[in-house]
Amino acid sequence: MRPTANIGAVRKTSPLYWALQLVGWGFHFNAQASGEVVFAGATWSQATMVWGTASVAGILLTQTFRWTAKRRGWLALPPYPLFARVAGSALLLAALSHLLVMSLSQIVYGTPVAPIMGSFYERLSESMQLRNQFIQILVIYASWLALYMAFAMQRRRQQLSEQLQSTQLRLLKSQLNPHFLFNALNGLRSLIEDEPARARDAVTQLARTLRYTLASGDEDLVSLERELEMVEDYLALESMRLAERLGVERRIEPAARASRVPTMLLQTLVENAIKHGIAALKEGGTLRIEARIVKDELRLTVTNPRPRGIAATDGAGVGLQNAAERLRLLFGARGGLNLDLSQPDRAVAEARMPR
């Protein structure tokens, strides 16, 4: 296993996408080339040179757009920045394609205007014909992008609601961690007689933890401030069990506190760090929780010592995988979770998301 791994799987491209891509650009090629042969008297080989190449370029250009949009997480952007990027892309792709068609026509027919354009706009000047040629190409790319975005947004919305529901369910189940719950209750039973005041506090903390966990299914995002309150309750209960084996260090930038974070995200990281790190060490150790703003990103980092020589479990636990999936669903490519196990005696989990 690699010491550092991005958690979670990448969604596969559907075969429908490729079918539409091939049919669409095939249709484009056929319409343009046959038009050029029938109306402008070009030969098939000439028309194929120009429009075959243009259609293949069309596939490559749109493919590049799609790759960029996915990689940069454009689908998760608010409407205006999203529109700006898509419109800009349409202009850029159309301009590139326009240049290509001009050069190909120049080579094949000796004029920058493709004959099919010339035959449609016979009476116009060459510059006007070129302008129309560009507009026609722009319409094609703009339609492609609009269609693609419509499909992609719809698909994303559907996935979001489906997966959010199922992750919420799984989350709820994994968060109501029976090990934690029953051990906490056992510790509590022990405290009742010897330290009733501490026992009362622990009951309150446990009640708040459970309430927060149960409510976490209703809301996707909470302020980091609120999440931290929950984490403190949780840590207090774990200290009851682990006593002096658990140390906690907090480095929370004040600016980060107002950021919105997925409910139970930090809690999952902390719980994981205790379960696989502190609680697995006889002498325990110190857990470090960091929250900082880097440019327009919030970074939550949980660092913990872990037993040496114990092979990391395959990939990451269910809890971390769910958390990674949720980040991706909520923030697209702008959210992510990384578990760094490159050091033999320490684990660093880092979650990134827009602030």
Partner 1 sequence: MKTLLVDDEPLARRELRRLLAAFPSVQIVGEASNIDEAHECIEALSPDVVFLDIQMPGGTGFDLLARLDHVPRIVFTTAYDQYAIKAFDVNALDYLLKPVEPQRLAAAIRKIQETAPRETASSGALPLEQLFIKDGPRCWFVPLRQVSLFTSEGNYVRLHWGQERPLLGRSLAALERKLDQKRFFRANRAQIVNLDFIQHVETGEGGRLHVQLRDGPEIEVSRRQAREFKERSTIA
152 binds partner 1 (CB under 8 A): no
Q: Rule CB under 8 A: is residue 286 a binding residue for partner 1?
A: no
DSSP alpha helix (H) spans, the chain: 15-40, 44-47, 53-71, 79-109, 115-120, 126-175, 178-194, 196-215, 224-242, 265-276, 318-331
Distance of closest approach, residue 209 Cβ to partner 1, in angstroms: 16
- Please report whether residue 179 would count as binding partner 1 according to CB under 8 A: yes
Q: Using the rule CB under 8 A, which residue among 194, 218, 296, 314 binds partner 1?
A: 194
CB 300 within 8 A of CB 264: no
Number of residues that bind partner 1 (CB under 8 A): 23
- Least distance from partner 1 to the Cβ atom of residue 246, Å: 11
The verdict on 193 binding partner 1 (CB under 8 A) reads yes
Q: How far apart are CA 271 and CA 227, in angstroms?
A: 13
190 binds partner 1 (CB under 8 A): yes
By DSSP bridging, strand 285-294 and strand 246-252 are parallel
Q: Are strands 221-223 and 346-354 parallel, antiparallel or unpaired?
A: unpaired
Of 160, 280, 312, 333, the one binding partner 1 by CB under 8 A? 280
Decide if 262 contacts 327 (C-beta within 8 A).
yes
Rounded to 5 degrees, φ, ψ at 121 are -115, 50
Nearer to partner 1, 149 or 281 (CB): 281
- From the list 183, 203, 226, 248, which residue makes contact with partner 1 (rule: CB under 8 A)? 183
Asked if 207 is part of the footprint of partner 1 (rule: CB under 8 A), the reply reads: no
Q: Residue for token digits 């997480």?
A: 73
Which one of 90-98, 143-151, 211-219, 237-245 is the stretch in contact with partner 1 (CB under 8 A)?
A: 237-245
Q: Judged by CB under 8 A, does residue 186 bind partner 1?
A: yes
Nearer to partner 1, 243 or 258 (CB): 243
**Which residue's CB is nearer to partner 1, number 70 or number 241?**
241
Choosing from 88, 162, 182, 249, the residue that interacts with partner 1 (CB under 8 A) is 182
Q: Which of 178, 218, 309, 311 binds partner 1 (CB under 8 A)?
A: 178
Which letter, b or e, does each residue of 89-108 get, where b requires 16 or more Cβ atoms within 10 Å of its Cβ? bbeebbebbbebbbebbeeb
Residue 305's φ and ψ, nearest 5 degrees, are -70, 155
Asked if residue 111 binds partner 1 (CB under 8 A), the reply is no
**CA nearest neighbour of 65 among 159, 150, 148:** 148
Our finding on whether 281 is near partner 1 (CB under 8 A) is yes
| Residue from 307, 308, 318, 343 in contact with partner 1 (CB under 8 A) | 307
Nearer to partner 1, 22 or 185 (CB): 185
> Rule CB under 8 A: is residue 154 a binding residue for partner 1?
no
State in angstroms the smallest separation of the CB of 275 from partner 1.
9
Q: Judged by CB under 8 A, which stretch of 1-9, 15-23, 30-38, 190-198 contacts partner 1?
A: 190-198
**CB-neighbour burial class of residue 125 (10 A; exposed 0-12, middle 13-18, buried 19+):** exposed
Residue closest to 37 by CA, chosen among 23, 24, 50: 50
Closest distance to partner 1 from the beta carbon of 311 (Å): 15
CA dihedral defined by 352, 307, 252, 164, rounded to 10 degrees? 40
Q: In the window 240-259, what residues touch partner 1 (CB under 8 A)?
A: 240-243
Contacts of 131 (CB under 8 A, 6+ apart): none
Q: Which residues bind partner 1 (CB under 8 A)?
A: 178-179, 181-183, 185-191, 193-194, 240-243, 279-282, 307
